[in-house]
Amino acid sequence: MEEKQYLVDALSVNESWRVFRIMAELVDSIEELSKIGRAVSIFGSAREDPGGSYYEKAREVARLLGKKGFGVITGGGPGIMEAANRGASEAGAQSVGMNIQLPFEQKPNPYATTSIAYKYFFIRKVMFVKYAMAYVILPGGFGTMDELFEALTLIQTKRIRSFPVVLMGSEYWGGLVGWMKKTMLREGKISEDDLELIQMIDDPDQVVKHIQKFVVL
């Protein structure tokens, strides 16, 4: 009985210390990211190879954003994230990589001029939203979908200010947006206004112009 109580007490202490680790990660992130000024968060698959069409689109849109005075924030890993950090650094802009500790795929790319390591997914997600003036989302997997729908939910429920959410890659996203219209909207699960939160734009130059309409530097 005493041994069980000891284990319970030890677990309680560990949980209490976890709160301090979370607080430390939040404080460190805020101190670092508060320096970057206006920025756009760019998301997409870690499994996109350099030279691929989406890789090059991410690189170009980040380069153009950098030329217009925006910093770029990514998840800090390979694929689309690497491409966006690369484009931003080529433009001489702030290029932030917020890397998450994972057992596979996620290794820091060399193009982030500012690199932050995270243990907790939820803190990283808060930082993506807090310091972004817009989201640009290229084809990706579950993590990309998670970032997309979390942003839409927060904007829809007015928990954060509204900002541009751009989907690049109409061939990839068209089916999802079509399902939203034909199923979610038709069955009354979302409204027409909710659909207007999303823009599908393939051309990097047009993406930047769309963001500029909503964000004044």
Could you report the per-residue pLDDT of 189-215, keeping only the tens digit for each? Answer: 999 999 999 999 999 999 999 999 987
- pLDDT of the residue at 130: 93
CA 184 vs CA 24, 170, 180, 191, 192: distances in Å: 40, 19, 5, 9, 10
Taking alpha carbons only, the member of 78, 95, 87 closest to residue 60 is: 87
For residue 99, the domain's CATH number is 3.40.50.450
Residue 7: pLDDT over 50: no
* pTM, to two decimals: 0.89
What's the structural domain count of the chain? 1
**Mean pLDDT, residues 113-131 taken together:** 92
- pLDDT of the residue at 12: 59
- pLDDT of the residue at 203: 98
Residue 10: pLDDT over 60: no
- Three-state SS for 63-105 is HHHHHCCCEEEECCCCCHHHHHHHHHHHCCCCEEEEEECCCCC
- pLDDT of the residue at 136: 98
Q: Which domain holds residue 12?
A: 2-214
Q: What's the CA angle centered on 136, arms 133 and 141, to 5 degrees?
A: 130
- pLDDT of the residue at 19: 87
Mean pLDDT (the chain) is 91
Q: What is the pLDDT of residues 60-110, one digit of tens each?
A: 999 999 999 999 999 999 999 999 999 999 999 999 999 988 766 567 899
Residue 153 contacts residue 59 (beta carbons within 8 Å)? no
Residue where the block lists tokens 């009354």: 188
What is the rounded distance in angstroms from the CA atom of residue 22 to the CA atom of residue 110? 26
What is the rounded distance in angstroms from the CA atom of residue 35 to the CA atom of residue 113? 13
What is the rounded distance in angstroms from the CA atom of residue 202 to the CA atom of residue 8? 55
- pLDDT of the residue at 96: 97
